[in-house]
Amino acid sequence: MNKFIAIEPDVCIGCGTCLAACSSGHREAGLQAQPRLALASTLDVTAAVTCHHCEGAPCMAVCPVGAITRADGAVLVNEQTCVGCKLCACVCPFGAIHPSGTSIAGVAGVKFDTPTFPRGTSALLSWEIGVYTRAVKCDMCAFDPAGPHCVTACLTGALSVQDAPCAAAARKEKLVAAAKANELAMRGSSTIRRP
């Protein structure tokens, strides 16, 4: 069974520590510093969006150069082989793959933006002259035996590593708890007298 990073949206506070830990860990490993997860926020909830390392892996099936492979239950992108075509990002059902490139504009670490697209343009449609993009996605920090950096960095414990059977058991437990709460609510409303 493939493992993946699960999120408890009710516990997540949207602090971004997971993003920083992911970026830092990959930069130290010599990979793109772009975080491999994203934070989705609404007025009510904040949750991390990561790769689910699908059994069918549509990203792997569509890659024209074989840059996406499976190893030890994780779906991995080889940044040196990737040609930046963005097909994997188009077919990902979770929106967990995105393009990232290191700009060559500027000298000695000073970057001067030379945008060729409006700021509101999707990352899938944007491009910069001289920047070669690569696909980035969660790799479960395969380069580190200690495991995913985002999970250990999460301040509230909202992130955890799970596999499919574990996730199914947790989902069943939540459904049972919700059914019991609904039953108690229904009993309480039937004992109230209405005028």
As a whole number of angstroms, the distance between CA 195 and CA 191 comes to 13
In the prediction, which pLDDT does 4 show? 87
Q: How far apart are CA 115 and CA 155, in angstroms?
A: 36
Model confidence over 152-168: pLDDT tens digits? 999 999 999 887 666 66
For the chain, helix (H) and strand (E) counts, in that order, are 5, 8
Q: Model pTM?
A: 0.69
Average pLDDT over residues 180-190: 75
Tokens linked to 128 = 């910069």
Tens digit of each residue's pLDDT (9 = 90 or more) over 95-113: 899 888 765 554 445 555 5
DSSP 159-188: EEEEEHHHHHHHHHHHHHHHHHHHHHHHHH
More confident residue, 187 or 97: 97
* pLDDT confidence tier of residue 175, bands split at 50, 70 and 90: confident
User: How distant, in Å, are the alpha carbons of 3, 18, 63, 139, 142 from that of 148?
Assistant: 11, 10, 25, 8, 8
Nearest to 75 by CA among 148, 125, 16, 2: 2
Residue 46 confidence (pLDDT): 86
Q: How confident is the model at residue 119 (pLDDT cuts 50, 70, 90)?
A: low
E-assigned strand segments in the chain: 3-7, 38-41, 46-49, 68-71, 74-77, 98-100, 134-136, 159-163
Mean pLDDT (the chain, rounded): 81
Q: Which residue has the higher pLDDT, 75 or 180?
A: 75
